[in-house]
Amino acid sequence: MRQRRIETVQSQPQEPAIASPISSAYLHIPFCRRRCFYCDFPIAVVGERRDRTPSQSIAPYLTALTAEITLTAARSTPQPLETVFFGGGTPSLLAPEQIDQLLTALDRTFGLAAGAEIAMEIDPGTFTLAQLQGYQSAGVNRFSLGAQAFQDDLLQTCGRSHSVAEIYEAVEMIRRAQIDNFSLDLISGLPHQTRDHWQNSLEAAIALDPAHLSCYDLVLEPVTPFGKRYRPGETPLPDDDLTADLYRIAQTHLTAAGYDHYEISNYARPGFACRHNRTYWENRPYYAFGMGAASYTDGIRFSRPRTRQAYYDWLAAGAQRPDAPETASDRLLETLMLGLRLREGVNLDRFTPSEQTQIRATLAPYAAQGWVILGADAIALTDPEGFLFSNTILASLFAQFDPDSAPW
């Protein structure tokens, strides 16, 4: 892998500079071969592209993304990035030269720290061995493969554009490229998914020996085909008891296989937790670039327009962010909501003494129930029961600190 140059660029600020030190960047690559039936992400469908040629619509988007990177760096006090994440969408629909173009732009403007984690989502059936090696040469050193399930009928039910055989082909290429730091994504709670399906998927995933596994529970988004077709907890979706069982089964199987359940949905071999995502869970600031991408800078959370044209128009108009930072209660609740996803939980020194007293009082009944650990310095959810009932626990915290903003 080529070692990238580390540099920072001091540019003339054009509006109030982004002040806090930020060392993580998310880049949204919004292209997919088709739209999966559960997905409401901001993406553009580019067709199957079995010949692996990049879609013509990608190049103008990368030009816009590069412009946003340059503009943001000019408004910031850039420091070398410790983590970069290419998410999507399907970033492996980009040619290695296109990933290189974006990393070069980040390197030129912010700099890339030595040893930075540079992660990329990839989908089965969208890349070749040469492409993977090209991404590595460009600097990518962590790959996350969207497997989702190891049953062809379930993949088809979800509208996924790949087969189980293509998952195995993808992992074979990952092996041949000698990539150790790779993750597999799985989804539980799919329509028609049984306990046996889920166990088999977990066992198949473990047999492939990834360094990391993400296990997400299906969320029914109203605008998606699944959201329109199914109702939570009703056949063919699993009921609440089965959903909880699937969570416990993942926890049992993966921890028995030596994975550390370090976050509510994530498991890793020692040393392979995702550094980029920790930035989110620790409620630290990060840049984001691209349509629909959400950044957190200067206490301001901002989501960019969700279609390409609206994103291009926003960029052409100066890429303005709102200037109202979050309130103290927003920050407190975000810190709790994100931090309690981590097994080690949240350190109480992030809160004032009065907030600590209120948090302890709110969580005391859940501690008695065995769902929460109230330590001297930190609070955490228990694994798996506290994680399973995290929404109930968080609802109480919202009711305590900001009843109007509860997301439930």
* Residue of 148, 127, 134 lying closest to 98 (CA atoms): 134
DSSP-derived secondary structure letter, 348: G
- Block residue for tokens 């709670």: 189
Q: Are 79 and 22 in contact (CB under 8 A)?
A: yes
Q: Which is nearer to ligand SF4, 162 or 253 (CB)?
A: 162
Q: Which is nearer to ligand SF4, 32 or 81 (CB)?
A: 32
Residues in 309-328 that interact with ligand SF4 by CB under 6 A: none
Question: C-beta of 144: minimal distance to ligand SF4 in Å?
Answer: 11
Residues in 3-32 that interact with ligand SF4 by CB under 6 A: 32
Structure tokens that stand for 102 in this block? 């974006």
Beta strands in 280-371 (DSSP E): 287-289, 294-297, 300-303, 346-347
Q: Which is nearer to ligand SF4, 32 or 118 (CB)?
A: 32
Residue 28 makes CB contacts below 8 A (sequence gap 6+) with 42, 87, 88, 89, 288, 289, 290, 291, 292, 293
Question: C-beta of 270: minimal distance to ligand SF4 in Å?
Answer: 28
149 binds ligand SF4 (CB under 6 A): no
Cα(126)–Cα(130) distance, integer angstroms = 12
Largest CA distance in the chain: 61
Q: Which is nearer to ligand SF4, 71 or 94 (CB)?
A: 94
Beta strands in 49-169 (DSSP E): 81-88, 112-122, 142-148
41 binds ligand SF4 (CB under 6 A): yes
Question: C-beta of 291: minimal distance to ligand SF4 in Å?
Answer: 13
Question: C-beta of 323: minimal distance to ligand SF4 in Å?
Answer: 31
Q: Which is nearer to ligand SF4, 155 or 340 (CB)?
A: 155
Please identify which residue in 6, 8, 11, 35 interacts with ligand SF4, judged by CB under 6 A: 35
Please identify which residue in 22, 43, 95, 147 interacts with ligand SF4, judged by CB under 6 A: 43
Half-sphere exposure of 395 (CA within 13 A, CB side): 5
Please identify which residue in 26, 29, 73, 88 interacts with ligand SF4, judged by CB under 6 A: 88
Closest chain position to ligand SF4 (CB): 39
Q: Which is nearer to ligand SF4, 147 or 388 (CB)?
A: 147
Q: Which is nearer to ligand SF4, 28 or 197 (CB)?
A: 28
SS3 211: coil
Residues in 57-76 that interact with ligand SF4 by CB under 6 A: none
Query: Phi and psi dihedrals of 54, rounded to 5?
Result: -65, 145
Instruction: Count residues binding ligand SF4 (CB under 6 A).
Output: 11
Cα(116)–Cα(120) distance, integer angstroms = 13
Query: Phi and psi dihedrals of 293, rounded to 5?
Result: -75, 140
89 binds ligand SF4 (CB under 6 A): yes
Contacts with ligand SF4, residue ranges (CB under 6 A)? 32, 35-36, 39, 41, 43, 88-90, 123, 146
